[in-house]
Structure 1
Amino acid sequence: MVAHRALVIAMLPAIGLRVLAVLGFPPAILFYGDSFAFLSEELKPGTTRPSGYSLLLALLRPAHSLTLVTVLQHLLVLGLAVAIYALLRRRGLPGWGATLLVTPLLYDEFLILLEHMIMADAVFIVLVTAAVVLLVWRVTPATAATGGMLLGLAGITRTVGLPLLILAAAYLLVRRYGWRPLVALLLAGAIPLGAYATWMKVEKDKFALTEADGNFLWSRTMSFADCDVIKPPERLAVLCPDMPVGQRPYPPHWLWEDFSPLLKVPGTAHRNELAGEFAREAILAQPGGYLGAVATDLTQLLRWERTAADEKTPYKFPSSERPINESVRGVAESYEAGPAATRVVEPFAGWLRAYQRFGYVPFPLLTLALVGVLAAALVRRRWEALLPGLAALALVASPPFLAAFDVRYVIPAIPLICLAAGLTLGGRAPRAGRHAAREPEPAEVG
């Protein structure tokens, strides 16, 4: 315990912050319509997002406790911090150094907020980072299979996790760990993905993970699409925006709002197909506009404050109670077996709202850390640090290409950047390769 004193000291206030969340905002914080879609008693593949998180909620449903869900999510992230700390100690960092590097996981206010939400983000973060920790800790067929399974589960939780399975496979291939771990990773990762896609085929006659990838990409093109330039065929012309570019709202609004031409297209699958086709034509016709829209989104990473004090956003701990909309209230109350609206209990809620104004790593510092870690890993030849570093880069950079930037989408990169930084600063791992000799274990004193 003495050897890990720094971690214990750091954990206590972090646990206290999560206790404030549980006491201040019972039973959980609900996010617009997304939370209610996840909580629905009718378990089926989601249209706009995969239902992996819904499957977890279904397992916990017999307890009829949203508090149980949020407490579990808080504990999972705390456990993830301990796992990263243990790996960094194994790589030779002192206790205070490893503790310092996991501090953002313990204290970031947005991460605490996501843990307390009925949303897939906290579980997704744990699945992805735990898989990377396993693959960096030691590569064997067993750890590779477990990591692959976790990444497959991440893919059916949020589709942005899908490229990470390919990235992990490339890591094993380039590092020459042999064919057994590589095959184990890919086969294990394919199990949840294939099972979910088969479920989608049975339910909706489509072998896929969602029915909205085309819709999201189409909404991305609404930032720049000009049908006078694109000249789409008549069957796609219905998806042309009728607003000047300068007056168009942010891409996500084009998915749900009444003004969206997307809603004029009948049939979920047909709409997604046409939207994807339109988006591809728009990007090919206006590549500069597409890259410009992506670059504009990525400039949000230079913003010091995540949310301004007077900004209306769901990414704040609420200051007042709001009743659940009548159309979805029954979904939440069925899961909770009672009232499910978020309550605001003072003074605990107020203390956490005050902490939220300063308890975070500003995005410019996070971006600088990511770039610095990737560069240092190359210079110092800490190749294993590239796996979490590139995974973090993929998670941060891909949403603006596929849909739009959202503050929430950057948070999963935080533990990966911390891990990559620790691996870059720590000692070298045992040499890769199937026939590599094992490094001798240090002798115990006494």
Structure 2
Amino acid sequence: MTTLTSTHRLFLVVLALAAALRVLVMLAYDTAQLYWYDSFTYLDTALRMRPQGAFHPAGYSWFLWLLRPFHSVELVAAVQHTMGLGIATMIYLLLRRRGLPGWAATPAAVPVLFDTGFLRLEHAVLSDLQVIFLTIGAITVLLWRERVAPGAAAAAGLMLALAGLTRTAAVPLIGLGLLFLLVRRTPWRTVAAMAATALVPLVLYAGWYAQHHGRFALSGSDGVALWARTMTFADCAKIRPPEDLAPLCPNTVRLDAASEYVWDPGASLNLLGDRFAHNDRARRFAVAAITAQPLDYLREVAKDTSLAFAWTPIAHPKRVSVPDGAFPTGVWSLPDHPLVAQARAAYDPGIRAQRSVEPFAGLLARYRWPWLLHGGPFFALLLLTGLSGLARLRRPARHEAVDGARAEAAARAGGDALLPWAAAVFLLVAPVAALDFDHRYVLPAIPLACVAAALALNSLRPSLPKAAKSP
């Protein structure tokens, strides 16, 4: 125990401080944060145990179902705070495993531990934290050893499948994981193990979804979301849609954000009635718009993605995230709606409007995650640093040419960085490409970017001349 403490002293101190901060968050609010309508659709699925027909797959609701016997959304928040500590611990242990010293591995876990964005996600009944936990878990398993064993690949595939069933934007990460194994020339049995444990749950879920909604899919909103994405640039004079798609063309409604077209009653799709009943039709229109105006689509995606790197965070209309990262104080009411009453009756009788609690909330309101580490430029620096691992794959340093083992180790370390880097970039861009930008959607990419940056920097260590290591 003494050896363990001395080896990991710095991280354990940081972890203890982060745990104390989470206790303060629990004391500062009298219940978990419940957002309308996302939190209550998750709870509704957990109570009914049937897939929702619109936006949210059931992965997070299964987690809520497991905790249902305790009848406490506060316990949900407490478990999620523990998961936040677990994410940081996985990052630290992975980096130590890959050869980083404690003083270098600990900073990579710091954003997850202290950034207010993560703390607020942990305290809310939202699916984001589960996606981050599962994704980091899968990356940790895949990078833990030089050669991935079949059991490890199967575990990673299952975690990525669960991440995809929690939020469909994570499904393509399965492809990244399989590509990583193929590039590493992993034995086919290992690749097959990951493919099976990743794809079988998705197929089974799609079959379950089809039983209830008549469509073999993971959700019923992909077409609606992509249609909304095109509303910021679609020009039907260029698209020339067929007669059945023409009613979905932009009308006189002009909104600040693509996602608002999903909900605005005056938007063309909503004038047709139930928006989700026209999901396939909306997808056909969106594909036609993107095909006819590919550069306009890419411009909109690039413009909105760039908001993640802004020096000053950009506020987004009607979003749950707080760009300045502050902990709010006050009272947050709940609507008088059957879903709220049902959750209160069947999941937690104590569900109520959240209130901040003094003096704890006052102390928490003064907490500020260092601004320079919270802003977009720091995130951009992380991504650029992670990308530098590619340089180690392209060519070793000149003085490494005579040391093949060191050059190979550096190249492998640089290659390790590319898996979390690619996953980070995908999780950053995919929500924008499929619907819209939100600062909340940036958070899942940050831990992966931290891992990639740390591994890329570690790949430079073998390239240092031996003489330079001496004082």
When the two structures are superposed, what TM-score results if normalisation uses the length of structure 1? 0.91
Where 2:374 maps in the other structure, the secondary structure is: coil
Alignment of 1:85-100 (within 5 A): 85-100=92-107
Residue in structure 1 matched with residue 201 of structure 2 by the alignment: 192
In the alignment, the residues of structure 2 paired with residue 312 and residue 216 of structure 1 have an alpha-carbon distance, to the nearest angstrom, of: 16
Equivalent position amino acid for 2:383 in 1: L
| Residue deviations 1:361-396 (CA, integer Å, cap 9, x gap) | 212211221122112343252211111111101111
Report how far residue 163 of structure 1 moved: 0.7
What is the letter of the counterpart of residue 140 of structure 1?
A
Which residue does 1:419 correspond to in 2? Answer: 451
Change (3 A) 1:182 1:428: farther
Following the alignment from structure 1 to structure 2, what is the Cα–Cα distance between the partners of residues 345 and 110?
A: 20
The change in CA–CA distance for 1:33 and 1:129 in structure 2 (over 3 A counts) is same
Give the aligned residue type for 1:320: G
Give the Å deviation of 1:356: 4.4
Deviation at 1:346, TM superposition (A): 1.8
Q: Deviations over 1:183-224 (max 9, x none)?
A: 010000123212211110111111110111011100000101
1:441: which partner in 2? none
The corresponding residue for 2:8 is 4
Task: Tell me which residue corresponds to 2:212.
Answer: 203
> CA distance change for structure 1 residues 292 and 307 in 2, over 3 Å: closer, same or farther?
closer
**Who is 2:296 aligned against?**
289
1:21 aligns with 2:30: no
1:115 paired residue among 118, 122, 129: 122
Change (3 A) 1:287 1:427: closer
Counterpart of 1:370?
383
208 and 243 in structure 1: CA distance in 2 versus 1, 3 angstrom threshold:
same
Letter in structure 2 aligned against 1:42: R
SS in 1 for 2:427: helix
RMSD: 2.1
In structure 2, what is the Cα distance between the partners aligned to 1:339 and 1:391? 36
How do 1:336-347 and structure 2 match up within 5 A? 336-347=348-359
Judge which range, 297-306 or 265-274, deviates more: 265-274
Answer whether contact 2:42 2:61 (CA < 8 A) is retained. Answer: yes
* 210-219 vs 23-32, greater mean Cα deviation: 23-32
Counterpart Cα distance in 2 of 1:74 and 1:271: 39
**Counterpart mapping for 1:41-60 below 5 A:** 41-46=47-52, 47-60=54-67
Within the candidate set 308, 320, 332, 1:322 is matched to: 332
Q: Which residue of 2 aligns with 1:272?
A: 279
Per the alignment, residue 403 of structure 2 pairs with: none
Indicate yes or no: 2:418 matched with 1:386. yes
Task: Check whether the contact 1:168–1:387 (CA below 8 A) recurs between aligned residues.
Answer: yes
Partner of residue 83 from structure 1, selected from 74, 90, 114: 90
- More relative contact order in 1 or in 2 (CA 8 Å, sep 6+)? 1
8 Å Cα contact 1:91-1:428 kept in structure 2: no
Identify if the C-alpha distance between structure 1 residues 16 and 311 changes in structure 2 by more than 3 Å, giving closer, same or farther. Answer: farther
Alpha-carbon distance, 1:249 to partner = 2.9
Say which is worse superposed, 177-186 or 81-90, in terms of deviation. 81-90
**In the alignment, which of 26, 29, 37 is matched to residue 33 of structure 1?**
37
In structure 1, what is the equivalent of residue 467 of structure 2?
Answer: none
What SS class does the counterpart of residue 326 from structure 1 fall into? coil
User: 1:389, 1:55 → 2: CA distance?
Assistant: 29
Matched, 1:348 2:360: yes
Instruction: Give the secondary-structure state (helix, strand or coil) at the position aligned to 2:245.
Output: helix
Q: Return the offset for 1:358.
A: 4.1
Deviation, structure 1 residue 330 = 0.9
Q: AA paired with 1:336?
A: D
Q: Aligned equivalents of 2:317 and 2:426: distance in 1?
A: 28
Q: Which residue of the partner structure matches residue 333 of structure 1?
A: 344
Q: Which residue of the other structure, out of 90, 103, 110, is the alignment partner of 2:110?
A: 103
Q: TM-score, normalised by structure 2?
A: 0.86
What code does the residue aligned with 1:363 have? G
- For residues 402-417 of structure 1, the aligned pairs below 5 Å read 402-417=434-449
Structure 1's unaligned 5+ residue stretches are: 430-446
What CA distance in whole angstroms lies between the structure 2 residues aligned with 1:30 and 1:132?
A: 30
The AA in structure 2 aligned to 1:368 is L
Report the Cα distance in structure 2 between the residues aligned to 1:240 and 1:14, rounded to whole angstroms.
50
The total of aligned residue pairs comes to 426
Alignment partners' CA distance in 2, 1:307 and 1:294: 16
Q: Which amino acid aligns with 2:422?
A: L
d(CA) in 1 for partners of 2:105 and 2:299?
39
Instruction: Tell me how far apart the structure 2 counterparts of residues 89 and 96 of structure 1 sit (CA, whole Å).
Output: 10
Q: Report percent identity of matched pairs.
A: 40
Summarize the Cα distance change of 1:311–1:292 in structure 2 as closer, same or farther, 3 Å threshold.
closer
Question: Counterpart of 1:329 in structure 2: which amino acid?
Answer: V
Change (3 A) 1:268 1:202: farther
Q: Are the aligned partners of 1:149 and 1:191 in contact in 2 as well (CA < 8 Å)?
A: no
Aligned residue type for 1:74: H
Report deviation, 1:27. 1.4
2:256 is aligned with 1:243? no
Write the deviation string for residues 40-66 of structure 1: whole angstroms up to 9, x where unpaired. 122221211211101111111110011
TM-superposed CA distance for 1:250, in Å, is 0.8
CA distance in 2, matches of 1:36, 1:306: 28
- Given that 1:140 and 1:181 are in contact with CA atoms closer than 8 Å, whether structure 2 keeps it comes out as yes
Unaligned runs of 5+ in 2: 393-409, 462-471
> CA separation of 1:356/1:37 partners in 2, compared to 1, >3 Å: closer, same or farther?
farther
User: In the alignment, is the contact (CA less than 8 A) between 2:95 and 2:454 conserved in 1?
Assistant: yes
Give the Cα separation in 2 of the matches to 1:148 and 1:376. 24
> How far is the alpha carbon of 1:106 from its aligned partner?
0.9
Query: 1:340 Cα shift?
Result: 2.7
- Tell me the distance in 2 between the aligned counterparts of 1:277 and 1:427: 45
**Equivalent-residue separation in structure 2 for 1:311 and 1:215 (angstroms):** 19
Work out which of the residue numbers 188, 192, 195 in structure 2 matches 1:183: 192
Question: Which amino acid is 1:351 matched to?
Answer: L
Distance in 1, matches of 2:171 and 2:368, equals: 31
2 CA distance for matches of 1:263 and 1:387?
A: 40
